[in-house]
A and B are shown apart, each in its own frame.
Chain A
Amino acid sequence: DTGVSQDPRHKITKRGQNVTFRCDPISEHNRLYWYRQTLGQGPEFLTYFQNEAQLEKSRLLSDRFSAERPKGSFSTLEIQRTEQGDSAMYLCASSLGGLDQHFGDGTRLSIL
């Protein structure tokens, strides 16, 4: 069990640029979740996949955000035309159909 891996750990970009984050879940886990966390807040649910199917999307996930899990393994989260308010920690988690999600250490996004 190598745990959930997220890449990159930190991303600094200029406002208006596109960014893409990657998450590699624990290999046998069929569910994969994306969250966003800002300072002083808990993780906010963005979306989740069961295998390659995206089953739930939060209303927080504006049309600038898109997530994919093409083969039911790794997932990517893309943010287009980044804004200052997108600065946050983006967390990925996976689970084997159960409730105990295993989180990665996150990607910290800073928008200049």
Chain B
Amino acid sequence: DQQVKQNSPSLSVQEGRISILNCDYTNSMFDYFLWYKKYPAEGPTFLISISSIKDKNEDGRFTVFLNKSAKHLSLHIVPSQPGDSAVYFCAASGNQFYFGTGTSLTVIP
């Protein structure tokens, strides 16, 4: 029972352009949503979060948007840089944490 879904396994973007990573969830009781970045052979690293009472949170080049009615969130990275190439996981917080299956982002120089 996948409560958090990332339907795009991979995404390629040119350096300098915008990267948009998407995530859908099923449980309207989730109170926080998070994005993590993961490089090979390393554990995930926290990137940005958003409370369910907000619809946008921005931190430098990273912005997360939350659409509660659609149960959808997205991570925007602009401008994209080659060092952003990694696997990105979205996660939701309820009584425990639920992670999506990840999207592998490749930023092409």
Tally of A-B Cβ pairs under 8 angstroms: 49
> Is A73's CB within 8 Å of the partner chain B?
no
- Of B41, B98, B100, B102, the residue contacting A45 (CB under 8 A) is B98
Q: How far is the CA of A40 from the CA of B99 in the complex (A)?
A: 12
Residue from B6, B45, B89, B93 in contact with A43 in the complex, judged by beta carbons closer than 8 Å: B89
Of the candidate stretches A14-22, A63-71, A94-102, the one touching chain B is A94-102
The CA-CA distance from A20 to B41 in the complex, in Å, is 21
Check if B46 sits within 8 Å of A42, measured CB to CB. no
Chain B contact residues, CB within 8 Å of chain A = 4, 6, 32, 34, 36, 41-46, 49, 89, 91, 93, 95-102
User: Closest approach, in angstroms, between the C-beta of A61 and any C-beta of chain B?
Assistant: 11
Q: Is the interface of A mostly helix, strand, loop or mixed?
A: loop
| Complex contact B101–A42 (CB within 8 A) | yes
Contact: A42 with B93, CB < 8 Å? Answer: no
Interface size class of A (residues with CB under 8 A): 20 to 34
The 30 listed contacts between A and B (C-beta, < 8 Å) are A35-B99, A40-B101, A41-B102, A42-B4, A42-B6, A42-B99, A42-B101, A43-B44, A43-B89, A43-B97, A45-B96, A45-B97, A45-B98, A48-B96, A58-B96, A91-B43, A93-B43, A99-B32, A99-B49, A99-B93, A100-B46, A101-B46, A101-B97, A102-B46, A103-B36, A103-B43, A103-B45, A104-B43, A105-B41, A106-B43
